[in-house]
Chain A
């Protein structure tokens, strides 16, 4: 990097820099920790207060391959991950009630189901690939554009397991000393995937100044080198990208699983390049039938004029979204390119912006409206259940598919079904604003946290074989 331009955001990558606050005045409070701000400073303060080396710096493969966490390591996860989660929620801010899809309700149901079901699938995959070393390799396979083996899906396998545990803690149906074995399984699986995928030793982007440079070097070079001046086509490029993102949200039931922003890759002129993936098709979702014929994924490569957009800080957060301060980076997009992946496992190829618009813009817009119509006619309970499956099936599906065992797991384990204990708490989760008010309040309540630490004397083998 021969940067001579002093773009303000580049200062954020200096080791001594504490970053800027995206939400000044807001702090995260968790029992046993000092108040934590958002951003680079929050990460720094938190790391200083943790017990083990798990989040303090880049990890080595030997740490990742150790089969068992200590309780201190589990409790470091139980404190770093909630901050990372809060840090990203702060950026999203409250979106409110959808009016189309009861998302908070379906999220809770999916977390509960994931917690009870995923550890078995994770162990199954781990055994098939020859242990955690094979899981690391599985994470590496996603270092190409248009792959759902990406940081968002990997992050979800980790945090949603913890959130599911939290739902049962809040409901009083589980104690912090229970399910320690499953907690270890889920966290080990998540770590091995993240380690292989990121390839920098960190588990989360927030540990490395919000970078997601998760492409193999050859792909990063090709994509970054493909951007071209948009001249008078900037508006066409932006609206095509927006239409693709919108459809990705419909296909994935109003959540971000259909998106993944990577980068920043920094050019010699100081400008950042962002690689934005939008997943337009997914055969496992019945409502996504209007997307048949579209590419599986579109990848938009964008160069942002950092000076023009006056960017002070740029974050590619773990949930797959680019966030900047100030937040309008769109007006700074000066160059771009479009790539498509026709099938989930085909070779990505570049297409011109004009060709992409001609071929797909109308169908993308039409598919969005058709899925909207499907949702508008779908009864609320069905929306909650289907949405829950987008999480607890959709988050783990790319890994099962990559290993060629999705059909087998679907049929053998009844993947598209709820554990009976989850079905039993459906009404409790759905009534009295439990999803919208109770859980968000208790999630981050220092005294009543859903992220309760594992007690020191808990057995590492401890599961919960009887519900008595």
Chain B
């Protein structure tokens, strides 16, 4: 992995020896989810969503994306459980390498600024998900 550039890390949901690769697509609104289901190349897409709730990304999850990245959430959540059951690699509660923005705002929860920053950094990038470690998932730049 040393020659690969690490973009970020997070909690790994499903331990898998093989890496998966795809282009990150940020799903901000429900209409983004519907558009991806209707016309997107789901199999080659790594979905990026803010939350770890299963209903928001549900329609995509069952259609087997290349992977899922969430800014919040944990592998014990139902999104984590269903990702394992569908066999979809997922990395949750990501921390971006060299992040210029603090994750938590003054109220102690994930700030909108961090969400916007993470989305801006990842959306449209081709990435590789390395989920070979039981606990830690790694997001690598594919190029």
Residues of A within 8 A of B (CB): 22, 91-101, 103, 235, 238-239, 241-243, 245-246, 249-250, 254, 256, 321, 323, 326-328, 330-331, 365, 368-369, 372-373, 375-376, 433, 436-437, 441
Contact call B109/A437, Cβ cutoff below 8 A: yes
Q: Does B71 contact A (CB under 8 A)?
A: yes
Cα separation A246 to B87 with both chains bound (whole Å): 14
- Given A22-B76, A98-B51, A101-B55: 11 more A-B contacts, CB < 8 Å: A93-B73, A95-B72, A96-B71, A99-B29, A100-B56, A235-B87, A245-B78, A246-B62, A249-B58, A321-B78, A376-B33
Contact call B30/A100, Cβ cutoff below 8 A: yes
Cα separation A95 to B74 with both chains bound (whole Å): 7
Q: Does B61 contact A (CB under 8 A)?
A: yes
Cα separation A328 to B50 with both chains bound (whole Å): 23
User: Please, which residues of chain B bring their CB within 8 A of the CB of A369?
Assistant: 37, 59
Cα separation A436 to B109 with both chains bound (whole Å): 9
Within residues 41 to 89 of chain B, which ones have a CB less than 8 A from any CB in chain A? 49-56, 58-59, 61-62, 70-82, 84-87
| A65 smallest CB distance to B (angstroms) | 37
Q: Give the A-B contact count at a CB cut-off of 8 A.
A: 134
Q: Does B19 contact A (CB under 8 A)?
A: no
Main secondary structure of the interface of A (DSSP, over half): helix
Residues of B within 8 A of A (CB): 14-15, 27-31, 33-34, 37, 49-56, 58-59, 61-62, 70-82, 84-87, 107-110, 134
Contact call B56/A98, Cβ cutoff below 8 A: yes
Cα separation A92 to B77 with both chains bound (whole Å): 5
User: Please, which residues of chain A bring their CB within 8 A of the CB of B87?
Assistant: 235, 238-239
| A117 smallest CB distance to B (angstroms) | 27
Cα separation A254 to B79 with both chains bound (whole Å): 11
User: Please, which residues of chain A bring their CB within 8 A of the CB of B70?
Assistant: 96
Contact call A246/B54, Cβ cutoff below 8 A: yes
User: Please, which residues of chain B bring their CB within 8 A of the CB of A256?
Assistant: 78
Contact call B55/A93, Cβ cutoff below 8 A: no
User: Please, which residues of chain B bring their CB within 8 A of the CB of A321?
Assistant: 78, 81
Task: Name 27 interchain pairs, CB-CB below 8 A, sorted by A.
Answer: A92-B76, A95-B52, A96-B70, A97-B51, A97-B72, A99-B49, A100-B53, A103-B53, A239-B85, A239-B87, A242-B82, A242-B86, A245-B78, A245-B81, A245-B85, A246-B82, A249-B55, A321-B81, A327-B80, A328-B84, A328-B134, A330-B14, A368-B58, A368-B59, A368-B62, A369-B59, A372-B55
User: Please, which residues of chain B bring their CB within 8 A of the CB of A91?
Assistant: 76
Of all A-B residue pairs in the complex, the 7 with the closest CB atoms, nearest first, are A96-B72, A93-B74, A242-B85, A376-B30, A96-B51, A330-B84, A254-B55
Contact call B37/A327, Cβ cutoff below 8 A: no
Cα separation A101 to B58 with both chains bound (whole Å): 13
Contact call B86/A95, Cβ cutoff below 8 A: no
User: Please, which residues of chain A bring their CB within 8 A of the CB of B50?
Assistant: 96-97, 99
CB-nearest residue of chain A to B108: A437
| A8 smallest CB distance to B (angstroms) | 16
Cα separation A181 to B79 with both chains bound (whole Å): 40
| A241 smallest CB distance to B (angstroms) | 6
Cα separation A235 to B88 with both chains bound (whole Å): 12
User: Please, which residues of chain B bring their CB within 8 A of the CB of A326?
Assistant: 134
User: Please, which residues of chain A bring their CB within 8 A of the CB of B30?
Assistant: 99-100, 372, 375-376
User: Please, which residues of chain B bring their CB within 8 A of the CB of A436?
Assistant: 109
Cα separation A81 to B84 with both chains bound (whole Å): 31
User: Please, which residues of chain B bring their CB within 8 A of the CB of A331?
Assistant: 15, 84
CB-nearest residue of chain B to A94: B72
- Which residue of the partner chain, among A22, A98, A328, A330, contacts B53 with CB atoms under 8 Å? A98
| A305 smallest CB distance to B (angstroms) | 15
User: Please, which residues of chain A bring their CB within 8 A of the CB of B54?
Assistant: 246, 249, 254
User: Please, which residues of chain A bring their CB within 8 A of the CB of B73?
Assistant: 93-96
| A432 smallest CB distance to B (angstroms) | 10
User: Please, which residues of chain A bring their CB within 8 A of the CB of B82?
Assistant: 242, 245-246
Contact call B77/A239, Cβ cutoff below 8 A: no
Cα separation A99 to B62 with both chains bound (whole Å): 18
- Which residue of the partner chain, among B59, B75, B77, contacts A372 with CB atoms under 8 Å? B59
| A247 smallest CB distance to B (angstroms) | 9
User: Please, which residues of chain A bring their CB within 8 A of the CB of B62?
Assistant: 239, 242-243, 246, 365, 368
Contact call A98/B55, Cβ cutoff below 8 A: yes
Contact call A95/B28, Cβ cutoff below 8 A: no
User: Please, which residues of chain A bring their CB within 8 A of the CB of B51?
Assistant: 95-99
User: Please, which residues of chain B bring their CB within 8 A of the CB of A433?
Assistant: 107, 109
- Which residue of the partner chain, among A99, A323, A328, A373, contacts B34 with CB atoms under 8 Å? A373
User: Please, which residues of chain B bring their CB within 8 A of the CB of A372?
Assistant: 30, 33-34, 55, 58-59
Contact call A241/B85, Cβ cutoff below 8 A: yes
Cα separation A120 to B79 with both chains bound (whole Å): 37
Considering residues B28, B55, B74, B108, which has the most beta carbons from chain A within 10 angstroms of its beta carbon?
B55
User: Please, which residues of chain B bring their CB within 8 A of the CB of A441?
Assistant: 108
Cα separation A436 to B72 with both chains bound (whole Å): 14
| A14 smallest CB distance to B (angstroms) | 25
User: Please, which residues of chain A bring their CB within 8 A of the CB of B77?
Assistant: 92-93, 95
CB-nearest residue of chain A to B51: A96
